[in-house]
Amino acid sequence: MACESPIYRRRRPPLAHELADIPWVGVLEPEHRERAIAGIVVGVAIPGDYVCRTGRPVTYWFGVIDGLLKMTIDSAQGDAVTIIGVPPGGWFGEGTVLKREPYRYNIQALRKSLVAGLPIATFHWLLDHSIGFNRFIMDQLNERVGQFIAARETDRLHNPEARVALSLAALFNPVLYPGVGKLLRITQQELAYLVGLSRQRVNEALAQLQARGAIRVEYGGLRVLDVQALRAPWQPPARGSGESALQPSHSR
């Protein structure tokens, strides 16, 4: 929520039910929780808003209470390359906050989202005083390493079904994104943005994954039925099996 961002101008204290959707607040001791809540602010990001941008100084540690964000980096050719999506319950940028360095990536809203921010000073105070907070950050960093390794591998895949499957598995990570649960509210167009494929290819891939019993496409979202099947090497079903591409999801 840098001063230039519209989100910063929309900031306000969080409501009680919004605090309940911040996963790390519950691990804090009462005195630490009081200090954290006093510092947390929330703001609405509309589609296209930047939460943070490459080269800007870090001011907050951010999380998503509701909505969907994407993390991108700028390539040498000047194109934006999507790295990960950030669904509800996801907090990101702890490495940048720890090192107090400028952002090396952009975070942008794909849809109207409610974003929370913890000031960098409060973040470091909690690190100095709260064992529970330290454990949460350690778990975040450990999962983040695996996430970025998987994202790197996914980028090298030329099989659209495998790319969609692994990208969905990453979004259903219960440690990084506890707010997702079993149902990810996402449209096929949003998923196409995150995976870097056309909507048609994503639609075809989802049809194959549903035929395998890995997911079920529901109105406005995707329900995971077998996350291990999403992570396993994808093998296309035999031709002539009869499955058809799914109809595009309707945006909420």
Domain CATH number, residue 144: 2.60.120.10
| Inside any domain, residue 181 | yes
Whether residues 143 and 190 share a domain: the answer is no
pLDDT per residue as tens digits for the range 187-230 = 889 999 898 889 999 999 999 999 999 999 998 789 999 988 88
Q: How far apart are the first and last CA of the chain?
A: 26
Q: Where among 111, 127, 152 does a domain terminate?
A: 152
Please enumerate in sequence order all residues whose Cβ is within 8 A of that of 130, keeping only pairs 6 or more positions apart, or say none: 28, 29, 32
| Inside any domain, residue 38 | yes
Structural domain range at position 86: 6-152
Q: In what order do the strands lie in the sheet with 91-92?
A: 41-45, 113-119, 60-66, 91-92
The CA radius of gyration of the chain, in Å to the nearest whole number, is 19
At residue 12, the pLDDT reads: 94
Whether residues 101 and 76 share a domain: the answer is yes
Whether residues 125 and 177 share a domain: the answer is no
| Inside any domain, residue 240 | no
Whether residues 145 and 192 share a domain: the answer is no
Whether residues 134 and 170 share a domain: the answer is no
Please enumerate in sequence order all residues whose Cβ is within 8 A of that of 125, keeping only pairs 6 or more positions apart, or say none: 35
Whether residues 94 and 219 share a domain: the answer is no
Q: What angle do CA 116, 52, 15 make, to 5 degrees?
A: 10
Please enumerate in sequence order all residues whose Cβ is within 8 A of that of 111, keeping only pairs 6 or more positions apart, or say none: 47, 67, 68, 190
Whether residues 73 and 116 share a domain: the answer is yes
At residue 158, the pLDDT reads: 66
**Regions of the chain where pLDDT drops below 70:** 1-5, 75-78, 150-158, 233-252
Question: 165 with 211: CB under 8 angstroms?
Answer: no
At residue 243, the pLDDT reads: 42
Whether residues 213 and 126 share a domain: the answer is no
Q: In what order do the strands lie in the sheet with 80-86?
A: 50-52, 106-109, 69-74, 80-86
Q: Where among 152, 167, 202 does a domain terminate?
A: 152
- Three-state secondary-structure class, residue 17: helix
Whether residues 168 and 71 share a domain: the answer is no
Backbone region of residue 234 per phi and psi (left: phi > 0; alpha: psi in -120 to 50; beta: other values) = beta
